[in-house]
Amino acid sequence: MNNYLKKLLVLLFVAMIGFAPQINAQNRDVTRHRSTSSSTHRSSTSRSSKPARKRSTTTTRKKKPAATEIIVNGYSVDTEYEDEDGDKGIAFFVDFDIKNRKNKETYICIYVYQGDNETPILDSDGDILVSFARFKPSSNNEKDNLALLFLPYYELLASDWDPDYDGISFDLAFEDENEDTIGLLEDLDIDD
Protein backbone atom coordinates (compact mmCIF):
# COMPACT_ATOMS: atom_id res chain seq x y z
CA MET A 1 0.00 0.00 0.00
CA ASN A 2 2.92 2.22 0.67
CA ASN A 3 4.11 1.85 -2.96
CA TYR A 4 0.62 2.53 -4.20
CA LEU A 5 0.49 5.80 -2.21
CA LYS A 6 3.93 6.85 -3.54
CA LYS A 7 2.83 6.23 -7.14
CA LEU A 8 -0.35 8.23 -6.56
CA LEU A 9 1.65 11.12 -5.10
CA VAL A 10 4.11 11.03 -8.02
CA LEU A 11 1.24 11.02 -10.55
CA LEU A 12 -0.40 13.86 -8.71
CA PHE A 13 2.86 15.81 -8.67
CA VAL A 14 3.44 15.23 -12.40
CA ALA A 15 -0.11 16.26 -13.14
CA MET A 16 0.36 19.49 -11.18
CA ILE A 17 3.61 20.31 -12.98
CA GLY A 18 2.01 19.60 -16.36
CA PHE A 19 -0.88 22.00 -15.72
CA ALA A 20 1.05 24.73 -13.95
CA PRO A 21 2.27 26.53 -17.13
CA GLN A 22 -1.29 26.59 -18.53
CA ILE A 23 -2.68 28.08 -15.33
CA ASN A 24 0.06 30.71 -15.30
CA ALA A 25 -0.57 31.50 -18.96
CA GLN A 26 -4.27 32.01 -18.23
CA ASN A 27 -3.38 34.25 -15.32
CA ARG A 28 -1.07 36.37 -17.48
CA ASP A 29 -3.82 36.56 -20.11
CA VAL A 30 -6.33 37.79 -17.54
CA THR A 31 -3.90 40.39 -16.28
CA ARG A 32 -3.03 41.61 -19.78
CA HIS A 33 -6.64 42.10 -20.91
CA ARG A 34 -7.88 43.62 -17.70
CA SER A 35 -4.91 45.84 -16.94
CA THR A 36 -6.21 48.39 -19.44
CA SER A 37 -9.52 48.81 -17.64
CA SER A 38 -9.93 51.16 -14.73
CA SER A 39 -12.32 48.92 -12.82
CA THR A 40 -11.11 46.72 -10.01
CA HIS A 41 -11.12 42.96 -10.39
CA ARG A 42 -10.28 39.87 -8.43
CA SER A 43 -6.75 38.59 -8.44
CA SER A 44 -6.07 36.41 -11.43
CA THR A 45 -4.81 33.66 -9.13
CA SER A 46 -8.15 33.42 -7.33
CA ARG A 47 -9.93 30.15 -8.02
CA SER A 48 -13.28 31.88 -8.23
CA SER A 49 -12.26 34.20 -11.08
CA LYS A 50 -13.10 33.14 -14.60
CA PRO A 51 -10.34 32.77 -17.16
CA ALA A 52 -10.27 35.53 -19.77
CA ARG A 53 -11.77 34.86 -23.14
CA LYS A 54 -9.18 34.82 -25.85
CA ARG A 55 -9.74 37.33 -28.57
CA SER A 56 -9.62 36.17 -32.12
CA THR A 57 -6.53 37.40 -33.92
CA THR A 58 -8.40 37.46 -37.24
CA THR A 59 -10.97 40.01 -36.09
CA THR A 60 -10.31 43.46 -37.48
CA ARG A 61 -11.65 46.55 -35.81
CA LYS A 62 -13.26 49.15 -38.00
CA LYS A 63 -11.72 52.54 -37.67
CA LYS A 64 -14.00 55.22 -36.35
CA PRO A 65 -14.49 57.84 -38.99
CA ALA A 66 -12.59 61.00 -38.21
CA ALA A 67 -14.72 63.84 -36.94
CA THR A 68 -15.54 66.64 -39.32
CA GLU A 69 -13.53 69.77 -38.65
CA ILE A 70 -14.66 73.13 -39.96
CA ILE A 71 -12.66 76.33 -39.65
CA VAL A 72 -14.36 79.56 -40.68
CA ASN A 73 -11.56 81.88 -41.77
CA GLY A 74 -13.93 84.81 -42.18
CA TYR A 75 -17.19 86.02 -43.58
CA SER A 76 -18.60 89.24 -44.99
CA VAL A 77 -22.05 90.53 -45.82
CA ASP A 78 -22.98 92.74 -48.75
CA THR A 79 -26.48 94.23 -48.29
CA GLU A 80 -26.48 95.88 -51.74
CA TYR A 81 -25.62 92.80 -53.79
CA GLU A 82 -27.16 92.25 -57.23
CA ASP A 83 -27.08 88.75 -58.69
CA GLU A 84 -26.73 87.71 -62.35
CA ASP A 85 -30.50 87.87 -62.86
CA GLY A 86 -30.64 91.46 -61.63
CA ASP A 87 -32.24 90.56 -58.29
CA LYS A 88 -31.07 92.67 -55.38
CA GLY A 89 -30.55 91.23 -51.95
CA ILE A 90 -28.11 90.27 -49.23
CA ALA A 91 -24.99 88.29 -50.13
CA PHE A 92 -23.11 86.27 -47.53
CA PHE A 93 -19.52 85.41 -48.40
CA VAL A 94 -17.95 82.69 -46.26
CA ASP A 95 -14.30 81.61 -46.38
CA PHE A 96 -13.77 78.22 -44.70
CA ASP A 97 -11.67 75.06 -44.47
CA ILE A 98 -13.31 71.66 -44.03
CA LYS A 99 -11.72 68.34 -43.10
CA ASN A 100 -12.88 64.71 -43.17
CA ARG A 101 -15.91 65.15 -45.46
CA LYS A 102 -14.52 63.73 -48.73
CA ASN A 103 -17.34 62.88 -51.18
CA LYS A 104 -19.99 63.51 -48.51
CA GLU A 105 -22.90 65.79 -49.25
CA THR A 106 -22.57 68.89 -47.08
CA TYR A 107 -24.68 72.02 -46.73
CA ILE A 108 -23.68 75.52 -45.74
CA CYS A 109 -26.71 77.44 -44.50
CA ILE A 110 -27.64 80.96 -43.43
CA TYR A 111 -30.64 80.94 -41.06
CA VAL A 112 -32.14 84.42 -40.80
CA TYR A 113 -33.50 85.97 -37.57
CA GLN A 114 -34.93 89.29 -36.43
CA GLY A 115 -32.33 91.67 -35.01
CA ASP A 116 -32.84 90.24 -31.50
CA ASN A 117 -30.96 87.05 -32.54
CA GLU A 118 -33.82 84.95 -31.14
CA THR A 119 -36.94 85.38 -33.28
CA PRO A 120 -36.69 83.46 -36.55
CA ILE A 121 -37.89 85.14 -39.72
CA LEU A 122 -40.42 82.77 -41.28
CA ASP A 123 -41.02 82.38 -45.00
CA SER A 124 -44.47 82.18 -46.59
CA ASP A 125 -44.65 78.42 -45.76
CA GLY A 126 -44.00 79.07 -42.05
CA ASP A 127 -40.43 77.69 -42.16
CA ILE A 128 -37.39 79.64 -41.00
CA LEU A 129 -35.99 81.70 -43.84
CA VAL A 130 -32.78 80.07 -45.03
CA SER A 131 -30.29 80.44 -47.85
CA PHE A 132 -28.09 77.41 -48.49
CA ALA A 133 -25.59 75.84 -50.84
CA ARG A 134 -24.88 72.13 -51.26
CA PHE A 135 -21.42 70.77 -52.04
CA LYS A 136 -19.26 67.63 -51.83
CA PRO A 137 -15.65 68.16 -50.84
CA SER A 138 -13.31 66.35 -53.24
CA SER A 139 -10.69 65.68 -50.56
CA ASN A 140 -10.44 65.25 -46.81
CA ASN A 141 -8.62 68.55 -46.45
CA GLU A 142 -10.37 71.28 -48.43
CA LYS A 143 -8.81 74.69 -47.76
CA ASP A 144 -9.82 78.23 -48.66
CA ASN A 145 -13.33 77.47 -49.88
CA LEU A 146 -15.39 80.52 -50.69
CA ALA A 147 -19.16 80.19 -50.58
CA LEU A 148 -21.68 82.79 -51.74
CA LEU A 149 -25.15 82.53 -50.24
CA PHE A 150 -27.74 84.95 -51.60
CA LEU A 151 -31.00 86.08 -49.98
CA PRO A 152 -33.10 88.12 -52.43
CA TYR A 153 -35.04 91.04 -50.97
CA TYR A 154 -38.28 89.77 -52.52
CA GLU A 155 -38.04 86.67 -50.28
CA LEU A 156 -37.36 88.82 -47.23
CA LEU A 157 -40.36 91.04 -48.05
CA ALA A 158 -42.60 87.96 -48.53
CA SER A 159 -41.59 86.69 -45.09
CA ASP A 160 -42.82 87.80 -41.68
CA TRP A 161 -39.79 90.07 -41.22
CA ASP A 162 -40.55 93.02 -38.97
CA PRO A 163 -38.42 96.04 -39.96
CA ASP A 164 -39.11 97.56 -36.52
CA TYR A 165 -36.61 95.11 -35.05
CA ASP A 166 -33.08 96.43 -34.94
CA GLY A 167 -31.74 94.91 -38.16
CA ILE A 168 -31.34 91.28 -39.15
CA SER A 169 -29.18 88.60 -37.57
CA PHE A 170 -28.22 85.16 -38.79
CA ASP A 171 -26.70 81.83 -37.87
CA LEU A 172 -24.10 80.24 -40.12
CA ALA A 173 -24.49 76.45 -40.03
CA PHE A 174 -22.80 73.50 -41.71
CA GLU A 175 -24.97 70.40 -41.99
CA ASP A 176 -24.46 66.82 -43.11
CA GLU A 177 -26.62 64.84 -45.55
CA ASN A 178 -29.13 64.11 -42.75
CA GLU A 179 -29.47 67.83 -41.94
CA ASP A 180 -27.63 67.35 -38.65
CA THR A 181 -25.50 70.34 -37.63
CA ILE A 182 -21.76 69.66 -37.85
CA GLY A 183 -20.61 73.26 -37.38
CA LEU A 184 -22.32 76.43 -36.18
CA LEU A 185 -21.66 80.13 -35.66
CA GLU A 186 -24.59 81.83 -33.93
CA ASP A 187 -25.94 85.33 -33.40
CA LEU A 188 -24.11 87.11 -36.22
CA ASP A 189 -25.41 90.58 -37.11
CA ILE A 190 -26.03 92.27 -40.45
CA ASP A 191 -25.34 95.97 -40.39
CA ASP A 192 -28.13 98.02 -41.97
Q: In this structure, are strands 88-99 and 141-152 parallel, antiparallel, or unpaired?
A: antiparallel
Assess whether pLDDT exceeds 70 at residue 94. Answer: yes
DSSP 131-173: EEEEE--SSSEEEEEEEEEEEEHHHHHHTT--TTSSSEEEEEE
pLDDT tens string 21-53:
333 333 333 222 222 333 333 333 333 343 444
Q: Which residue has the higher pLDDT, 13 or 45?
A: 13
pLDDT tens string 133-169:
999 999 999 999 999 999 999 999 999 998 887 789 9
**Residue range of the domain that includes 46:** 1-61
Residue 48 sits in the same domain as residue 141: no
Q: 176: which DSSP letter?
A: -
| Distance between first and last Cα of the chain | 110
Residue 56 sits in the same domain as residue 76: no
Gap between the Cα atoms of 75 and 110, Å rounded: 12
Residue 40 sits in the same domain as residue 105: no
Gap between the Cα atoms of 3 and 191, Å rounded: 105
For residue 106, the model assigns a pLDDT of 96
Report the alpha-carbon angle 117-120-125, nearest 5: 165
Residue 13 sits in the same domain as residue 96: no
Residue 100 sits in the same domain as residue 52: no
Residue 99 sits in the same domain as residue 157: yes
pTM of the predicted model as reported, rounded to 2 decimal places: 0.65
Residue 82 sits in the same domain as residue 34: no
Of the pLDDT bands very low, low, confident and very high (cuts 50, 70, 90), residue 64 is: confident
For residue 175, the model assigns a pLDDT of 96
% of the chain residues with pLDDT over 70? 67
Those residues with Cβ within 8 angstroms of residue 31's Cβ, 6 or more apart along the chain or in another chain: 44
For residue 160, the model assigns a pLDDT of 94
CA atoms within 13 A on the CB side of 16: 6
